[in-house]
């Protein structure tokens, strides 16, 4: 799934959270969105999820065999997995049940759910945490459970909004390494918003830098695009 942002502006009154932002994300890319607080990172993620709409400009979504014109982003929300800093797990449900909620939303047949859940738990190294509640997990385990839930819907794109923000350095690295592995093995597109420049600089992948709602740098493997 390719994404094209064409002169996207998002304004709240006179304040512009994003100002004529344009760039493309190709299927299978691993892309960091960086910038200071208030730069527009979270707004960009909300736009991709159609949680808000641009004031002007358009987002074009292109599938391998099908092109969708502007306004169609709402139709592909179920093909997007999300991982947030606060995990957003349901506290009174087990890890298994949290993942099953995602499958219920996309109407996965009940007879198929157990196999899917076991697969994503294995991929995120949580097989032994199946019946635990979020309060019984470490910070790193919570984020991996959130990622497992995102993977259950077989997403074409994973949006990660500051997923390492509440983690210690070791747990943060493990989560990013897992995201990188998923990107390479499954060819899943990853867009990750982060403040952690140590991780960004170490991975040597594409970085889009925002400042005051504008793209000020777009850099891939040492070269500006």
What is the token pair recorded at 185? 């093995």
**The predicted structure's pLDDT at residue 61:** 82
Q: What are phi and psi of 57, to 5 degrees?
A: 90, 180
CATH at residue 111 = 3.40.50.300
What is the token pair recorded at 216? 């000020």
pTM of the entire structure? 0.89
**The predicted structure's pLDDT at residue 65:** 60
**The predicted structure's pLDDT at residue 214:** 95
Give the span between the Cα atoms of 90 and 220, in whole angstroms. 37
**The predicted structure's pLDDT at residue 222:** 52
Percent of the chain having pLDDT more than 90?
A: 77
Question: Domain of 47?
Answer: 2-224
If one counts the domains in the chain, the total is: 1
Q: Cβ(84)–Cβ(145) under 8 Å?
A: no
- Counting as low any pLDDT under 70, the low residues of the chain are 64-75, 221-225
**The predicted structure's pLDDT at residue 78:** 79
Q: What are phi and psi of 78, to 5 degrees?
A: -75, -10
For residue 71, is it left (φ>0), alpha (ψ between -120 and 50) or beta? left
CA angle in degrees (0–180, nearest 5) for 4-182-109: 90
């Amino acid at each position: 799934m390719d994404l094209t942002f064409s002169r996207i502006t998002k304004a709240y009154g006179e304040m512009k959270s994003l100002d004529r932002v344009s760039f493309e994300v190709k299927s299978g890319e691993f892309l960091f969105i960086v910038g200071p607080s208030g730069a527009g990172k979270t707004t960009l993620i909300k736009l991709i999820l159609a949680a808000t709409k641009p004031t002007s400009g358009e987002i074009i979504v292109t599938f391998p065999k099908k092109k969708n014109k502007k306004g169609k982003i709402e139709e592909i929300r179920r093909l997007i997995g999300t991982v947030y800093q606060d995990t957003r797990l349901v506290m009174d449900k087990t890890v298994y049940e949290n993942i099953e909620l995602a499958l219920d939303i996309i109407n996965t047949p009940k007879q198929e759910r157990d196999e899917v859940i076991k697969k994503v738990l294995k991929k995120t190294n949580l097989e032994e945490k199946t019946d635990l509640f979020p309060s019984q997990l470490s910070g790193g385990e919570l984020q991996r459970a959130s990622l497992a839930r995102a993977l259950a819907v077989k997403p074409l794109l994973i949006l990660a909004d500051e997923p390492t923000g509440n983690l210690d350095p070791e747990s943060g690295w493990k989560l990013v390494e897992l995201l990188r592995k998923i990107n390479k093995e499954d060819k899943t597109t990853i867009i990750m918003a982060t403040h952690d420049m140590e991780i960004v600089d170490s991975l040597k992948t594409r970085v889009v830098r925002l400042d005051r709602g504008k793209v000020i740098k777009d850099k891939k493997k040492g070269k500006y695009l």
